[in-house]
Amino acid sequence: MATSSILPLHLPSCVRRATTVRAAAAPAAATTTAQSLEESFGRKGLKFVADPAGGPSTAVLSVRNGSSLHLRLGDGLVTSYRPKVYWKDDGCREVLHTVADPSGDPAKAKGGVGLVLNEVSSSGGAQSLVDGSAWAIKDVDSDSYDAVQVELGCTKGKLDISYVVTLYPLSMATAVIVRNTGTKPVELTSAMLSHIKFDKRSGTAVEGLRGCPYCSHPPPAAGFSLLSPAEAMKREDPGWFFGGGEEPRQGVWTVEEDQYTILKKKVSRVYAAPPEERKKRIYSTAPSKFTTIDQASFQPKRQKHIIFM
């Protein structure tokens, strides 16, 4: 039975046959799979495209204002997001940065927007719950015009995982729901990694983080990430740039003082309440809304290489 989404657009309660999408399918099978998906789940604003090279099929979501999103079904990676923007003549702009694999295999492309979900062991190590998993389409929904939603699912041991991707006219949203069907508690860590395309890094900034505590912290490891945790934390020559100083050492908390957080220098941070602050009954959390700036252009709010906890 499909789970109800935590997003405004609710999935129907009807039961649908789950169609598993595997990256190892042959070209002919991939075409058949795409056709089968189209027959089972295709509707206005949602179509399925087979990979000519035999990789996983792609779900193409679109709404009536022209905004669109490409979701790779093999691993749940969002490889393209083109929202409607007011500063471009044709109305839409690609905002995700995706790098093709040198071998030309589309199933190995990196970047985009993806889910990181790890189970923490008693020894402190972390094991991915999504790498190599066989995702299945559990359900889809749409209102025919302004919202389209796809729910993927997989099972890892005693954990049932649902991953929901929704496209709206001016935004996209993701949500993950994990149900533990076992009797033992589990400890999980998760993140959504987004690779956003900008015209110039020197003109890139985030507005809305002023007064928020942060510390330098490496991003979680992910197979689709363009930078490893070590590469993301490697210092760059700061040079001269507006509104920034020396990056604090990892684990040292400080407060954002600038109205515009300039991203010219490579930074990897966590914006959140410090651990000591979280022990209080009442404390302030990181802002849930902020604006990214690409030179003089304002883009819809999305997560960046800045992790909120």
Q: Which residue would you say has higher pLDDT here, 112 or 123?
A: 112
Contact between 54 and 26 (Cβ < 8 Å)? yes
Structural domain includes residue 4: no
Q: Which residue would you say has higher pLDDT here, 298 or 214?
A: 214
Structural domain includes residue 11: no
User: Considering 194, 210, 232, which residue would you say is the last residue of a domain?
Assistant: 194
Q: Which residue would you say has higher pLDDT here, 65 or 301?
A: 65
Greatest mean pLDDT among 186-195, 255-264, 284-293: 186-195
Could you tell me the pTM of the whole model? Answer: 0.79
Structural domain includes residue 64: yes
pLDDT of residue 67: 93
Residue-range definition of the domain harbouring residue 292: 198-309
Q: Are 237 and 308 part of one and the same domain?
A: yes
Which residues on adjacent β-strands are paired with residue 111? Answer: 98
Q: Are 184 and 284 part of one and the same domain?
A: no
Could you give the CA distance from residue 77 to residue 71 in angstroms, rounded to a whole number? 6
Which residues on adjacent β-strands are paired with residue 137? Answer: 19, 152
Which residues on adjacent β-strands are paired with residue 139? Answer: 151
Other Cβ atoms closer than 10 A to 104: 9
Structural domain includes residue 139: yes
> Phi first, then psi: what are they for 12, rounded to 5°?
-65, 155
Q: Are 229 and 161 part of one and the same domain?
A: no
Structural domain includes residue 9: no
pLDDT of residue 144: 62
Closest CA to 294 of 189, 174, 178, 197: 197
Res. 109 pLDDT band, cuts 50 70 90 = confident
User: Considering 194, 219, 238, which residue would you say is the last residue of a domain?
Assistant: 194
Closest CA to 149 of 41, 66, 77, 64: 41
Q: Are 160 and 250 part of one and the same domain?
A: no
pLDDT of residue 16: 42
Q: Are 43 and 190 part of one and the same domain?
A: yes
Res. 237 pLDDT band, cuts 50 70 90 = low
Reply yes or no on whether the pLDDT at 160 is more than 90.
yes
Structural domain includes residue 60: yes
Site of tokens 């030179």 = 295
Q: Are 143 and 262 part of one and the same domain?
A: no
Mean of per-residue pLDDT scores for the chain:
78
pLDDT of residue 245: 61
Q: Are 64 and 163 part of one and the same domain?
A: yes
Average pLDDT over residues 17-36: 50
- Tens digit of pLDDT for each residue in 252-264? 999 999 888 887 7
The H or E element that residue 62 is part of is strand 58-62
